[in-house]
Amino acid sequence: MKTKNYILGIVVAIALLSPISCKNFLEMPAQTGFNKDLVFSNYRDTEIFLYSLYQSVPKIMYGWANNIMLFGPSRVSLSDEAISGVYSGFTTNSLYAGAVTSAWFTTRNGEDVYDTHWKSIRNNFIMLENIDKVPDASAEVKGRIKGECQILIAVEYFEMWKRYGGIPIIKGSMTPADYEIIKRQSLDAVYKYIIELCDAVIANPNIPAKVTNPLEFGRATKALAYGLKARTMLYAASPLFNAATPYLDFGQNNNLICFTNYDKNRWKLAMDAALQAIQFCESNGYAIVTNVGINRNYTIAVQKRPKDGNTEIIWGTMYNSSLEGANGGPDYMWGMRGRQGGAGANTPTQNAVEMYHNVDGSSVNWDVKITTPPNQPEFPYKNLEPRFQQTIGYNGCLWYTNPNFYPQFYNGGEAGVANGLEGMKATPVVGNYSMRKYFIDYEKSKSGMWPMNPVMRLAEMYFIYAEASNEFQGPTSQAFDLLDVIRTRSGMPKVDRSLNQAGLRAFLVNELFVEFYAEDHRYYDMRRWKIPGVKTIYNVNVLKFLNNTYTYEKYVSQTRVWNEYWFMHPFPLTEITKNYGLIQNPGW
Amino acid sequence: MKHRNIFMKQLKVKAGIFLLFFGIACSAFGQNIAPKNGAKEIPDSSIVQPTSNLPVNWESPSSVSTVQGKVIDKNSSYSTGNSLYGLLPGLIVRQQSGEPGSEDADFRIRGNGTFGNSNYPLILVDGFEHDLNSVAIDDIESITVLKDASASILYGGRAANGVIVVKTKRGIQGKGKITVKLLGGMQSPMGLPKFTNSADYATMYNQALASDGLPAIYADTQIEGFRTGDPVYYPNVDWIKELVKNSAPAAKATVTATGGNNIIKYFVSVGYLMNQGLYDHTAMHDAYSTNIKSGSIDFRSNLDVQLTSDWKLTFDMFGQINDKNSPVASTSSIWNSLNSYSSTIPIYVKDALLGGTSAFPINPMGLINEQGYRDTYERYVIFNSSTEYNLRRVVKGLVAGVRFGYDNYYTVNSAWSKTFESYSVIGTDPATGGPLLSAPFGKNTALAYGNPVGDSQSRRFNIDGYLDYNTAIGTENKLTAKLLYHQDKLMLGAESPYFNESLSGLVNYNIKNRYMVEVGLSYSGTEAFKPGKRFSLFPAISAGWILSNESFLKDNPVIGFLKLRASTGTVGRSNIGLRFAYRDYYVGSGSYLFGTGTSATGGYTEYALSNPDVTYEKSNKSEIGMESVLWKNINFSAAWFYQKRTNILISQSNLVPSLVGVSLQDINGGKAESSGIELSLNINKSFKDWGYFVGVNYTWMTSKVLYNAELPVPTGSEYNYRTGQKISQPYGLDFIGFFQSAQDIQSSPKQQFGSVKPGDMKYRDRNNDGFINQYDEGPIGNSVLPRSEFGLTIGANYKGFDIQGVFQAQMGRDIYLGSNPNVYWPLVNYAKISTYVDQPWTDANKATAKYPRLTTVSNPNNYRPSTFWYKNADFLRLRSIELGYNIPSQVTSKIKIDKIRVFVRGMNLITLSSFTYGDPETMVGYPAMKSFNMGLNVQF
């Protein structure tokens, strides 16, 4: 009996233990997650990976929710084009005040987020290194994707090169063990690398000149390679880089921030590249938008997609979600102050307004106080050119119709209909203007609004040609003719043919501001021209009187700091102190 | 996979060899001795005795503290965790919310040891990992805290934060005993804030506007109106007074039965707890209440079956069902609203129409009472069973057993919700003379059932196989050994299951009851790491010397017992918050829009680069201690402990260049150390009619971060580094006064947090760089975790009467007022002004102001961590006090009852704190409670 119990006990113990020891207890169950091999095992997933490569393409309008740029404002507010509100979280305010160091950039964002470039470059290299493994894609498709990756890498390099100068050159996806040998390369070496990548794409037979399937709009094309090459050459020829000595002496590292020689031929290269780009584009279906009327051509060219008639766009980048209603989205930051919760994070300055001329070529005298006739708040602006009317909202402009709505940008006026909910604090007033560009057709309701970031338009090639040829050989009729196309399509008179080289140069500074307002040109144009940042920002004080007249009086609304060493962006202090040999730019 | 199989084979081979040696060793030592009988039976009197005369662990050289269930019972609150304050040296218990059903206390064993993801100890109930809520207070036999490596080595890879071991009661052989316990009482909130009345609020709001350079919005007539008061036109609503009752009832009933014969022994208990919340006006709807009401019923049955003289089985079952009624709104939103909703908005504008504004349409009355109710259901089921066979016929002294446990926790909540209208008063209706109302905000809807949410389930399967061996060696020496194989599998919702597996052994060798050595080893594994890194070996060794058994101290009249002990060893933690970091994977990465439409396309992207080396966080613990019994009734013990944590997970982002272009998984790089001392003294004396006892324990602890890859800070700001400071050390600016004038601002270092005005806070420029920014932040004060803790248990009995109390004190702790901005940061985020706000800065009182100027706009300069917002919050609390009377047995025996005891018990009745405005522990949300209870225990 007892032996029986004993045996029974052993049996029970073994029975309880046996299910455990028979399997690999700690083995993780099969995962549903993806790895690299799975992604590149079929074209469908490879294509999905391709889409992610586009998520870090340059954009112009940033929001707060994105939380990746200036904590709300966009680059436009760093130049004299616009000003952002006094909300303390906007990092623009620290930049205006000059209260930034390289350490500051380790915890906050300037207009650039350094590591996102490297992430994008790495992902593009992963695609380049693995695309040939995909079994179910044709050589043509693979070739096209390779071209796209190369141009996207070139775009990232260009974006870093113009900010930081010479940077490490990497030619593959790295492991943490590789980076230690990577040092900054010369400005010239990076320049050559960008051109090499562009040339590779230009020589690639599989990448289309223009996206023919409208569903693929947004993908990189050969035209972008031509355009980027011209743009890079323009920067290379411009005074900041094309110089024997840099903006600040950097000793033996001068070659990281300039070419260490002045070569006039760089202007010729830029001129030729622009001409090639224009010829390539125009023989492949791109054209300046001139057929929708002087009050609309510009809007189509800068804001609309090809499906809406934009033939001029070389590369437009998009957002990944609707902007409607999302508090903190670009619409909120760019939106009309006081309306739909707009924050006025990017409010046009009086400086910007003064860049615009009347349609007859004359300009408004803002240095004296302007008093309007009764009930004509729009009086000072009414003759300003069509591009102005499509770009900036002002007191008394017709914001939308049915019913007609005229914003009241005067002291005591209501900026928007829904201003000042009870208990809500009004957004501090920074300027009596509002962004209109990119919001055309959506002033009343942002429903369905999908703005495009016009990162590169054919018009830019016209300007590169005009500027580079003027610098290389003085004004030419070809340059004037190209500029006239841009001017006349927006109802402006042709360029004065009597301008000399200096005169045309000054004209181009103004015209570039107007044509590319809020397209991220001004801030970097000023730097490449080695012109210090504008320190004095103006606003206009608008008062309404009982007799229904208005007065407009210009005043200094902000004084900004400018430092000579700001011509180049600092690397975040963290990167320097990781001690792998990264050299900080001078002054930072 | 292949690797894995080889590994498993190796493990089996190793285990086999281990077992073989174990068997040989056991049989070689031969003769069996009786089970250890060192500790005297603790006398079962109604007076609580914190210790017996000998320390419970007198034979072991490792570091443990134990408290018996009957001690806990006398201090018991309505939740298990809240019944442990001050009782166990080294166990830091921190009170949290007092919300019925959510009152979990927070535990630390000897403070914080890591800056990794968690410092929470491992809690084992009857050998397996469980939540402390899954034990009813009346089922607890004892709670033991395992503090050093040696004590916790059997749980090797899970034990780094220390272990709390809960044992439940088992049946006692003999005539069946039934005990009925009834407890009922009232509880009331502690430390509720008060807010200024509407008139003062309006005046101060105007003052704030003036300081911002903005025009006033409250006219004098309006302020006067608030002062006179009118519930509709000039309301002055004290929302807390309106909606929070002074007290709420709670009641508890437990029936336990125990008994058995030499074959079957049983312990069975059934308990019911009802605990109500504080919300008022919750009965206005006929069909339901919106008050919190937490009902909990639990059942336990622990059975021991002695099948043969050698074979024992146990069958334990535990079940608990918690059903909680509450308002639909979350507790945090309710208390946020109560503490911030303006007193100038009426409760009702007319009859049953609620007041509100377009921006704040939901007033607290509506929030609590007009949004319906929520029902939260929780269920625990635990089934444990074991079989143990005494192998004395094979090897004397050898016992083999298998324990098996399966548990299931499930929770779900469903809401019956509705919405309501609220109105603003916009004038007087000329027709009726009554208030003219705005259009309604919101909409009245009928109560509607929402789909259940928060549906979650966890299941754990545990199994232990063990061998226990004890034998005498020669006539004076003893050997005890334990071999434990453990594995468990936890399934949490959709997560990949969690596994633990370990093989551990512990050998204790005792020479003449004078010297003992304990050696332990644990080979622990987890699924979270790469094959090859999954298992880690943890060793521990300890030694003890009982001086009182040496001839020179034998029969010493003063020193009845004296033991010195020392231990060192390493235990680990696999639950470091990072699983499968050895794998590379690709994940969804948002989306991008192409083409013509408005729908974006999803993308894949590379996730963080893998780290194949991720492994256990390791804790090396060393300790020296002594235990003694003096003059027969004084127990004194002391210990010094030191712990070094290595392999704490740290981010690589501060180490690897951005150039690599991808984020990297964390690495085991961090290091920290912690140390402290622990003292405990118990005096226990009884005379003919009376007796008394005093128990004191004290723990002091400190810690230091030794390495954490930090962002570099500029030269001169080295104090900004967290490395070198205590774990969870708060950082902030040094407040040096208020700016007195524009000139003052001009001539001071530039403060970069936002524009400043006179009356704003001025900080010290620690690095003298002319700017005040985050690099001027240094270590300030202490964290909320105390630097030392003190527990005092005192009691006395006289004939049938007894009294006892438990005090707990925590010293060296600061609270951050910014963690409850509604109360301490006036007008921030539309907050009110609490009565804590004293003499805010104005031009008139600039020299004597005690608070920064009031402002209506965002002010990141003032409202950020600084010495101004850290306040010392040391406290001493009378956690419990109980006065009881046992009806003499001559009386009770006449009615055939063994014992009757009546008592009154108060919890948290007295608090002394250096921070007097609010509760020093529970700052935010539902308040902590004090309570007054009466109880009756009857034993048949």
A554-574: pLDDT as tens digits: 988 888 999 999 999 999 888
Q: B526 in contact with A at a CB cutoff of 8 Å?
A: yes
User: Please, are residues A161 and A191 in contact by the beta-carbon 8 Å criterion?
Assistant: yes
Amino acid B113: pLDDT: 93
Lowest mean pLDDT among A338-352, A369-383, B735-749, B854-868: A338-352
pLDDT tens for B31-67 read 333 333 333 333 333 333 334 466 667 788 899 999 9
Task: Report the SS3 class of residue A154.
Answer: helix
Q: Is residue B50 in some structural domain? A: no
DSSP B783-815: -SS-SEEEEEEEEEEETTEEEEEEEEEEES-EE
Nearest-CA distance A421 → chain B (Å): 7
A99–B750: do the CB atoms touch at under 8 Å?
Answer: yes
Please list the alpha-helical segments (H only) found in A423-572: 458-473, 477-488, 501-515, 522-528
Using CA atoms of A425, A429, A433, A434 in order, give the dihedral in degrees to the nearest 10.
-30
pLDDT tens for A31-79 read 556 788 888 999 988 988 888 888 888 888 877 654 566 777 888 999 9
Task: Report the SS3 class of residue A115.
Answer: helix
Nearest-CA residue of chain A relative to B709?
A: A578
What gap in Å lies between CA B786 and CA A403, rounded to an integer?
A: 65
Question: Which residues touch B115 (CB under 8 Å, ≥6 apart)?
Answer: B648, B670, B672, B705, B708, B727, B728
* Pairing label, strands B559-573, B586-592: unpaired
Residue B531 pLDDT greater than 90, yes or no: no
Among the partner residues B389, B393, B605, nearest to A52 by beta-carbon distance = B605
Q: Is residue B10 in some structural domain? A: no
Question: What mean pLDDT comes out for the span B111-118?
Answer: 92
Among the partner residues A2, A424, A575, nearest to B359 by beta-carbon distance = A424
Amino acid B626: pLDDT: 94
Q: Find chain A residues with C-beta within 8 A of B526's C-beta.
A: 26
Beta-sheet strands, E only, within B36-139: 64-68, 91-94, 106-109, 122-125, 128-129
Nearest-CA residue of chain A relative to B500?
A: A26
* Domain closes at, from B393, B427, B456: B456
Gyration radius of chain A over CA positions: 28
Q: Which residues pair with A384 in a beta bridge?
A: A358
Q: B755 in contact with A at a CB cutoff of 8 Å?
A: yes
Inter-chain contacts counted by CB atoms under 8 A, chains A and B: 235
A422–B357: do the CB atoms touch at under 8 Å?
Answer: yes
Using CA atoms of B847, B850, B856, B858 in order, give the dihedral in degrees to the nearest 10.
100
Name the residue type at position A445.
S
Q: Is residue B294 in some structural domain? A: yes
Amino acid B54: pLDDT: 66
pLDDT tens for B14-24 read 455 444 444 44
Q: Select the more confidently predicted residue: B800 or A6.
A: B800
B711–A107: do the CB atoms touch at under 8 Å?
Answer: yes
Phi, psi (5° rounding) for residue A438?
75, -10
Among the partner residues B661, B752, B754, nearest to A174 by beta-carbon distance = B661
Q: Which residues pair with B400 in a beta bridge?
A: B389, B467
A12–B598: do the CB atoms touch at under 8 Å?
Answer: no
What gap in Å lies between CA B566 and CA B638, rounded to an integer?
A: 12
Lowest mean pLDDT among A252-261, A381-390, A436-445: A436-445
B463–A16: do the CB atoms touch at under 8 Å?
Answer: yes
Q: Select the more confidently predicted residue: B31 or A119.
A: A119
Amino acid B369: pLDDT: 94
Residue B872: its H or E element? strand B870-872
Which tokens belong to A240? 């900041």
Helix, strand, coil in percent for chain A, rounding step 5:
40, 10, 50
B606–A20: do the CB atoms touch at under 8 Å?
Answer: no
Residue B435: its H or E element? strand B435-437
Q: Is residue B338 in some structural domain? A: yes
What gap in Å lies between CA B786 and CA B97, rounded to an integer?
A: 18
Q: Find chain A residues with C-beta within 8 A of B502's C-beta.
A: none
DSSP state of B905: E
What gap in Å lies between CA B842 and CA B247, rounded to an integer?
A: 40
pLDDT band of residue A147 (cuts 50, 70, 90) is very high
pLDDT tens for B627-677 read 999 988 899 999 999 999 999 999 988 888 888 888 889 999 999 999 999
A34–B587: do the CB atoms touch at under 8 Å?
Answer: yes
Among the partner residues A34, A88, A103, nearest to B604 by beta-carbon distance = A34
Q: Tell me the whole-structure pTM to 2 decimals.
A: 0.83
Nearest-CA residue of chain A relative to B772?
A: A99
What gap in Å lies between CA B722 and CA B651, rounded to an integer?
A: 14
Q: Which residues pair with A541 in a beta bridge?
A: A553
What gap in Å lies between CA B601 and CA A50, rounded to an integer?
A: 10
B526–A580: do the CB atoms touch at under 8 Å?
Answer: no
Among the partner residues A13, A106, A178, nearest to B387 by beta-carbon distance = A13
Which tokens belong to B859? 């002010």
* Pair (B445, B590) in one structural domain: no
Neighbouring CB atoms inside 10 A of A417's CB total: 11
Residue A313 pLDDT greater than 50, yes or no: yes
Lowest mean pLDDT among A310-314, A547-551, B736-740: A547-551
Task: List the single best residue of B344, B614, B658 to mutate versus A (max A Cβ within 10 A).
Answer: B658
What gap in Å lies between CA B795 and CA B684, rounded to an integer?
A: 9
Nearest-CA distance A181 → chain B (Å): 11
Question: Could you give the C-alpha distances from A36 to A124, B91, B123, B225, in angstroms and in order?
Answer: 13, 48, 40, 71
Q: Is residue B245 in some structural domain? A: yes
Q: Find chain A residues with C-beta within 8 A of B422's C-beta.
A: none
Q: Is residue B415 in some structural domain? A: yes
What gap in Å lies between CA B132 and CA B164, rounded to an integer?
A: 10
Nearest-CA distance B531 → chain A (Å): 9
**CA proximity to B559, closest of B551, B568, B547:** B547
User: Please, are residues B823 and B919 in contact by the beta-carbon 8 Å criterion?
Assistant: no
Amino acid B473: pLDDT: 87
Among the partner residues B591, B655, B755, nearest to A320 by beta-carbon distance = B591
What percent of chain B stands above pLDDT 70? 93
What gap in Å lies between CA B820 and CA B786, rounded to an integer?
A: 19
* Cβ within 8 Å of A, B 588-607: 589-598, 600-606
User: Please, are residues B258 and B176 in contact by the beta-carbon 8 Å criterion?
Assistant: yes
- ipTM for the complex shown: 0.78
pLDDT tens for B533-555 read 899 999 999 999 999 888 888 88
Please report how the helices A139-164 and A43-53 are oriented relative to each other, as an axis angle in degrees rounded to 10: 20
A35–B583: do the CB atoms touch at under 8 Å?
Answer: yes
| Exposed/middle/buried for residue A564 (C-beta within 10 Å: 0-12, 13-18, 19+) | exposed
Residue corresponding to tokens 């491992």: B122
Q: Which residues pair with B490 in a beta bridge?
A: B460, B498
DSSP A46-112: HHHHHHHHGGGS--S---TTT-SSSSS--GGGTSTTEE----TT-THHHHHHT---TTHHHHS--S-
DSSP B683-730: EEEE-SSEEEEEEEEEEEEEEEEEE-------TT-GGG-STTS-TT--
Residue A174 pLDDT greater than 90, yes or no: no
**CA proximity to A90, closest of A109, A115, A114, A71:** A71
Amino acid A133: pLDDT: 94
Beta-sheet strands, E only, within A247-343: 313-317
Task: List the single best residue of A52, A124, A569 to mutate versus B (max B Cβ within 10 A).
Answer: A52
Q: Which residues pair with A452 in a beta bridge?
A: none
Sign of CA dihedral A485, A491, A496, A499: negative
pLDDT band of residue A406 (cuts 50, 70, 90) is confident
Task: Report the SS3 class of residue B756.
Answer: coil
Average pLDDT, chain B: 88
Q: Is residue B308 in some structural domain? A: yes
Amino acid B39: pLDDT: 36
B285: left (phi over 0), alpha (psi -120 to 50) or beta: beta
pLDDT tens for B270-319 read 999 999 999 999 988 888 999 999 999 999 999 999 999 999 999 999 99
Among the partner residues B4, B387, B605, nearest to A24 by beta-carbon distance = B4
What gap in Å lies between CA A63 and CA A74, rounded to an integer?
A: 8
Task: Report the SS3 class of residue B769.
Answer: coil
Amino acid B571: pLDDT: 96
DSSP state of B597: S
Among the partner residues B596, B601, B655, nearest to A578 by beta-carbon distance = B655
DSSP B382-403: EEEEEEEEE-TTTSTTEEEEEE
Phi, psi (5° rounding) for residue B891?
-75, -50
Nearest-CA distance B662 → chain A (Å): 6
* Domain closes at, from B402, B424, B456: B456
Range of the domain at B262: 235-456
Q: Find chain B residues with C-beta within 8 A of A183's C-beta.
A: none
Q: Find chain B residues with C-beta within 8 A of A87's C-beta.
A: 858
**CA proximity to B574, closest of B517, B616, B541:** B616
pLDDT band of residue B133 (cuts 50, 70, 90) is confident
Q: Is residue B422 in some structural domain? A: yes
Which tokens belong to A508? 């181009």
* Cβ within 8 Å of A, B 395-414: 400-402, 404
- How many distinct structural domains can be found in chain B? 2
Neighbouring CB atoms inside 10 A of A367's CB total: 7
Q: Select the more confidently predicted residue: B164 or B550.
A: B164
Q: Which residues pair with B592 in a beta bridge?
A: B601
Phi, psi (5° rounding) for residue A401?
-115, 170
Task: Report the SS3 class of residue B464.
Answer: strand
* Pair (B249, B398) in one structural domain: yes
Q: Select the more confidently predicted residue: A344 or B488.
A: B488
pLDDT tens for A188-245 read 999 999 999 999 999 999 999 999 888 889 899 999 999 999 999 999 999 999 999 9
Amino acid B600: pLDDT: 67
Q: How many Cα atoms are found within 13 Å in the side-chain-facing hemisphere of A236?
A: 29
pLDDT tens for B677-721 read 999 999 988 888 899 999 999 999 999 999 998 877 778 888 989
Task: List the single best residue of A25, A123, A125, A315 to mutate versus B (max B Cβ within 10 A).
Answer: A25
* Domain closes at, from B405, B435, B456: B456
Nearest-CA residue of chain A relative to B4?
A: A24
User: Please, are residues B61 and B543 in contact by the beta-carbon 8 Å criterion?
Assistant: yes
Amino acid A407: pLDDT: 80
Amino acid B45: pLDDT: 35
What gap in Å lies between CA B416 and CA B699, rounded to an integer?
A: 48
